[in-house]
Amino acid sequence: MRPRRTALVTGGSRGIGLEIARRLAEEGYDLTLTARESDALRKEAVRLSALGARVEAEPGDMAAEEDVRRIAAMHTARFGRLDALVISAGVGSAGRLAEYPIQRFDKQVSVNVRSPFLLIGELLHLLRATAELEPATGTKIIAVSSLAAFAPEPGLAAYAATKAALVALCAAVNTEESSAGVSATAICPGYVDTDMSAWIHDRIPAEEMISAADVAELALAITRLSRRAVVPHLPVLRPGAELWRG
């Protein structure tokens, strides 16, 4: 019998991360689910367990280096393999560049760039080892970036810069690791209908936004690709005349 595949999903208590986790659980993955809000995280872990998956809830703050290292170590100890690393935790806030508080910029760099860099580094040995066990598909890193990485909007300079760095990180992983079966994809959607986008509902109604289910569908498709297909980034646009706007 084939061993069950496993995934680690950050930002897994709501929004895109939770939807990807749900689809992976339905696909037969066991999960480590992590987010800052422990109550919400454990509640969703119970729900996902009802789909037949083993789900380990591991609360942690992606801005805290010790939490990132602990989460990586706990997944390794509990499962001993990693087929998909899903990086969905992220923060963002709007503000004009000239008046933007540097502390808020530092927070976004810490969560959106530094923690993915650290988490990937901590788990590469496990991703490589699992890729050897799965010669057809290898293993996947899926990072939720943003269309702002390619088409920044006024007021989103800090967010766009960190999400562009995440795209570059995935590309760098591919140059170093894809020959060993570990590939990385940055999914880069425009505005997605989640709590994080509620601030712009006065301009873009929720029903006109990309759905979290659409992003999760793409994430699942990436896990099914052969190791011969490397997708460094994947923009997802909303319909309309200004396609390259969020």
Residues designated as active site: 159
* Residue type present at position 226: S
How many Å apart are CA 104 and CA 16, to the nearest integer?
23
Residue in the block written with tokens 């729900």:
47
* Measured CA distances, 146 to 27, 119, 157, 163, 236 (Å): 25, 19, 12, 6, 9
Euclidean distance between CA atoms 191 and 238, whole angstroms: 8
Cα 109 from chain centroid? Answer: 15
Query: Helix, strand, or coil here: 9?
Result: strand
Tokens of 51: 């789909």
Q: Which stretch of DSSP H or E encloses residue 30?
A: strand 30-34
Asked whether 111 and 166 are in contact (CB, 8 A), the reply is: no
Strands 182-189 and 139-144: parallel
How far does Cα 138 stand from its chain's mean position? 18
CA distance 163 to 199: 19
Q: Which residues of 90-115 are buried (b: 16+ CB within 10 A; e: fewer)?
A: bbbeeeeeeeeeeeebebbbbbbbbb
